């Protein structure tokens, strides 16, 4: 038995939490789009998932694939839509056609778009971005694939060796410490929220157990942006919050039902946003991040300022 797991995008925000949990079995496959180095002591392949000859060679070595590789986020996808489509959709089609083992695919609750109701996996999809459309197309490719797990994740938060400060909990926590103030636009819009460490644990459980394949919402709590701001204020009282009525460019609004994940994946939420807020406050106050505004901590800023990426050379 091969007992090897290919983790595409394994050097990224989520992969950096997952790989240490499975490092003896993992092969990390990543093009290092957002970083210049990767030091995890694990088998590593520097390649793009659209490099099919290389990808095929490593698919033959494993019996499970965790497909984290993606251009993530609405604005990031719009920097180079052709590259985003080839990564998020076409490469996944290649995987589906050339691999018969267990597949764990990371989708997004962004597929629900704007929805006032509590949504479950059978609810109508209402994508309002190209990114969400690529995720829906990816799900369509996989939905009839035997042994495929499609995980619709809430908005992630928490610490990672490939840190991001373009996610709502992370960015509000960072601004609270650095600027002592945060701006909240509108704020009534809801998000399902999920610890990056916790989803890594869920993925490991799926790898190690014979759960029922299918589509699953994964989130620990549904909170409005206003409520997120209040959590930050409670943990960092000196911050000043400015509430702005102006419309925020991100119009997503949804709350998700996670009953299926609880029932079939034995998912029990245990890490919540207060844990992440406290951790981020601590690492910034301790000076562990030299410049939290560095472009590398934001997907859109990294890609928008990369001539190589915009020109399709990376």
CATH number at residue 63: 3.40.50.720
Average pLDDT (180-195) is 92
In contact, 137 and 110? CB cutoff 8 Å: no
C-beta of residue 101 within 8 angstroms of C-beta of residue 129: no
Q: Does residue 67 lie within any of the structural domains?
A: yes
Mean pLDDT (the chain, rounded): 94
Q: Tell me the two tokens of residue 263.
A: 């029932």
Q: What is the pLDDT of residues 41-64, one digit of tens each?
A: 999 999 999 999 999 999 999 999
Report whether pLDDT(231) > 60. Answer: yes
CA 74 to chain centre: 12
Residue 93 is encoded by which pair of tokens? 């089609």
Distance, CA of 156 to CA of 153 (rounded, Å): 8
| Within a domain: 204 | yes
Q: Is position 243 within any domain? A: no
Inter-residue contact 162 to 11 (CB < 8 Å): yes
What is residue 233's predicted lDDT score, i.e. its pLDDT? 97
pLDDT confidence tier of residue 15, bands split at 50, 70 and 90 = very high
pLDDT-derived band at 311 (thresholds 50, 70, 90) equals low
Dist CA 300 CA 75 (whole Å): 6
Mean pLDDT confidence for 208-222: 97
Residue 103 has pLDDT above 80, yes or no: yes
Confidence of residue 115 (pLDDT cuts 50, 70, 90): confident
> CB count, 10 Å around CB of 226?
15
pLDDT over threshold 90, residue 295? yes
**pLDDT tens, 16-39?**
999 999 999 999 999 999 888 999
Cα separation, 177 vs 182, whole angstroms: 9
Q: Phi and psi (nearest 5°) for 305? A: -100, 10
| Structural domain containing residue 50 | 5-164+192-224+252-273+299-310
Handedness of CA 37, 40, 45, 48 (dihedral sign): negative
Q: Give the pLDDT mean for 270-288.
A: 97
The CA-atom distances, in angstroms, between 297 and each of 2, 124, 136, 287 are 35, 33, 26, 16
For the chain, what is the domain count? 1
Contact 182, 175 (CB under 8 A): yes
| Percent of the chain whose predicted confidence (pLDDT) is above 90 | 84
Residue 100 in domain: yes
Decide: helix, strand or coil at residue 249.
Answer: coil
* Residues with Cβ within 8 Å of residue 211, at least 6 apart in sequence: 149, 205, 264, 265, 266
Other beta carbons within 10 Å of 74: 18
Q: Within a domain: residue 240?
A: no
Distance CA(127)–CA(139), nearest Å, equals 13
- State mean pLDDT over 74-91: 93
6 pLDDT above the threshold of 60: yes
pLDDT of residue 310: 66
């Amino acid at each position: 038995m091969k007992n090897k797991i290919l983790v595409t995008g394994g050097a990224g925000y989520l992969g950096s939490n997952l790989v240490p949990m499975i490092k003896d079995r993992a092969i990390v496959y990543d093009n290092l789009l957002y970083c210049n180095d990767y030091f995890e002591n694990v088998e590593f392949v520097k390649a793009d998932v659209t490099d099919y000859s290389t990808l095929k060679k490593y698919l033959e070595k494993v019996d499970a694939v965790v497909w984290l590789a993606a251009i993530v986020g609405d604005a990031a996808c719009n920097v180079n839509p052709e590259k985003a489509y080839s990564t998020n959709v076409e490469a996944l089609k290649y995987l589906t056609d050339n691999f018969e083992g267990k597949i764990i695919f990371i989708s997004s609750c962004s597929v629900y778009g704007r929805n006032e109701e509590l949504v479950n996996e059978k609810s109508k999809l209402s994508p309002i971005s190209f990114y969400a459309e690529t995720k829906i197309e990816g799900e369509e490719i996989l939905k009839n694939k035997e042994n495929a797990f499609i995980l619709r994740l809430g908005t992630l938060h928490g610490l990672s060796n490939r840190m991001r400060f373009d996610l709502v909990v992370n960015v509000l926590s960072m601004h609270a410490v650095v600027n002592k103030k945060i701006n909240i636009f509108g704020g009534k819009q809801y998000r399902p929220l999920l610890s990056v460490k916790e989803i890594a644990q869920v993925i490991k459980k799926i790898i190690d157990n014979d759960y029922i394949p299918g589509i699953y919402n994964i989130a620990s709590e549904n909170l409005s942006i206003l409520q997120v701001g209040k959590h930050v204020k409670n943990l960092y009282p000196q911050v000043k919050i400015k509430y702005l009525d102006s419309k925020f460019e991100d119009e997503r609004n949804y709350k998700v039902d996670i009953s299926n994940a609880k029932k079939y994946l034995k998912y029990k939420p245990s890490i919540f946003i207060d844990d992440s807020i406290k951790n981020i406050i601590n690492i910034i106050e301790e000076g562990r991040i030299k410049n939290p505004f560095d472009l590398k901590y934001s997907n859109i800023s990294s890609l928008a300022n990369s001539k190589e990426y915009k020109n399709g050379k990376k």
